[in-house]
Amino acid sequence: MKIALAQLNYHIGNFSSNTAKIIDCINKSEKEGADLVVFSELALSGYPPRDFLEFRDFVDQCQIALLDVAKHCTNIAAIVGLPTYNKGEKGKPLFNSAAFLFDGKVQSITNKTLLPNYDIFDEYRYFEPNNEFKVIEYKGKRIALTICEDLWNVQDNPLYTINPMDKLVDQHPDLMINIAASPFNYHQTKIRKEILKKNAKQYKLPLFYVNHVGAQTELLFDGGSLVMNSKGDIVDELHYFEEDYRVFEMSDITGTGCNSYKESSKSEIASIHNALVMGIRNYFEKLGFKKAILGLSGGIDSALTAALAAEALGSENVYNVLLPSKYSSDHSVDDSIELAKNLNMPYDIIKIEDAVDAFENTLKPYFKNMPSGIAEENIQARSRGVILMALSNKFGYILLNTSNKSEAAVGYGTLYGDMNGGLSVIGDVYKTQAYALSRYINRNGEVIPENIITKEPSAELRPDQKDSDSLPDYEILDEILYQYIEQRKGPKELVGMGFEKTLVDRILKLVNTNEYKRYQTPPMLRISTKAFGMGRRMPIVAKYLG
């Protein structure tokens, strides 16, 4: 039997596009002699549809699309993910399902058993878990079909009380098929492969795995669909961060011949880079926008954002605005111009001094002769924000936010100023990672000027200002933040790791008391195991470590 894996980039709620892609792949697979073509989890709706699932019309359109797809499965079978109705008297109204299509109709429906309800996942909000287990018989083969999380309960600390494959293996399947929507983070690829390998070895069955690819707002799906033999060896793997398609002969997977596949290795930074470029590109494409605007400050964060955007959208579509104040250094302007020229990006210089003076003169009678301080610094940032948003509105560009995760964590940014934007490109990238990404972008020659990478970071909102005036060295800050945010280490544990108690207390207080700022930020492209946004839900009004 020949099985095709179709790794596609879906668009949530775009039923015509999703259906057309699926039908095209079915027709292609049939021409190439495949007996079965497999698509990913919730392929017809896109993943995650979230509260669209509360609209009956949305779910109905999924059913209509399914029947349309089924018509094309006359001489070939297909497995397609979609939400379906729970016709039982009790439970959630929907199932997360995989339809098996053949002979022009829906032959069977397999429902997802294990519904993740952690981090960015919220499936139990919408779906009823499955409690019926049956293999699919097709062309003399017995298929154990599961959906994403259904294979993940083989870890040392199981989250669920049941394992779907333990039920299905009693029916003597010949192979496993898993359709998934497994989002990217820079640890996920390794973990995912270990989980899939455990399943193949534990059940002594070959495994066909199909994952989503593409960005859905802040969630980035890296693809990496694969086939494993019953020993857990990867036989072949589809590309990462792009659509891909491949046909496999079952006898090649189950045979005893030598497996010649050599797994390619990509660095963590390379994967983050590719994920961010894909995330920017898909965000613009799926919203129907082509051009971006950003404030280019001469610092590493805006330079990195501009370089990533230029790669994603084309240099001509990234409009850079230099907004110097009286505190901006000459080299900040010069470095920004050099970057724009290196990438052949359009740019303009708009000085903000007149705008700042106008605000300060307006407010002077009401500031009651108090000494200059943070309010005046923020007026500069907000003046820049007003100018950038005005240009965004006038020309229909999306403003890219350039704040990094280190700054977002401790509130080192100005609401309605440098925290403006329609998309936060590096909001899940720590400052130290920003330097590594910049070095990666320069791997084949200088794109980001060396002076931007090597100079001491500064907001340039007051004379001789440096980030180090307000924050510890980023190597120390980022490690504390990583241990607290991603690893959920408390203050005692951090002190036990060797960090100074007063510093730990100060940093954790900054993180917690600035939750209100992060609540108002644009969506951040997610590349870590715990990003700010939909996967990290913290109360704003709270006292813990505050």
Active-site annotation holds for 460: no
Tell me, rounded to whole angstroms, the distance of Cα 11 from its chain centroid: 14
Structure tokens at 364: 């002077």
Nearest to 451 by CA among 337, 326, 346: 337
The DSSP call for residue 202 is H
Alpha carbon distances (Å) from 136 to 15, 66, 73, 75, 278: 27, 18, 16, 17, 36
The DSSP call for residue 545 is T
Catalytic-role residue among 41, 237, 311, 338: 41
Instruction: List % helix, strand, coil for the chain (3-state, nearest 5).
Output: 40, 20, 40
Alpha carbon distances (Å) from 438 to 299, 303, 306: 11, 8, 11
Q: Are 527 and 275 in contact (CB under 8 A)?
A: yes
Element housing 214 (H / E): strand 213-216
Catalytic-role residue among 2, 21, 112, 405: 112
The DSSP call for residue 6 is E
Q: Are 381 and 461 in contact (CB under 8 A)?
A: yes
Full strand arrangement of the beta sheet holding 175-179: 136-138, 141-147, 175-179, 207-210, 226-228, 234-237
Residue 284's CB: how many other CB atoms inside 10 A?
A: 21
User: Where are any strands of DSSP class E within 23-140?
Assistant: 36-38, 77-85, 94-102, 105-111, 136-138
Q: Is 199 helix (H, G, I), strand (E, B) or coil?
A: helix
The DSSP call for residue 174 is S
Q: Is 397 helix (H, G, I), strand (E, B) or coil?
A: coil
Full strand arrangement of the beta sheet holding 94-102: 105-111, 94-102, 77-85, 36-38, 2-7, 244-249
Active-site annotation holds for 466: no
* Separation between Cα atoms, residue 383 and residue 406, nearest integer Å: 23
Active-site annotation holds for 25: no
- CA contacts within 13 A on the Cβ side of 219: 22
Tell me, rounded to whole angstroms, the distance of Cα 134 from its chain centroid: 33
Catalytic-role residue among 25, 128, 148, 460: 148
* Separation between Cα atoms, residue 480 and residue 474, nearest integer Å: 10
Catalytic residues: 41, 112, 148
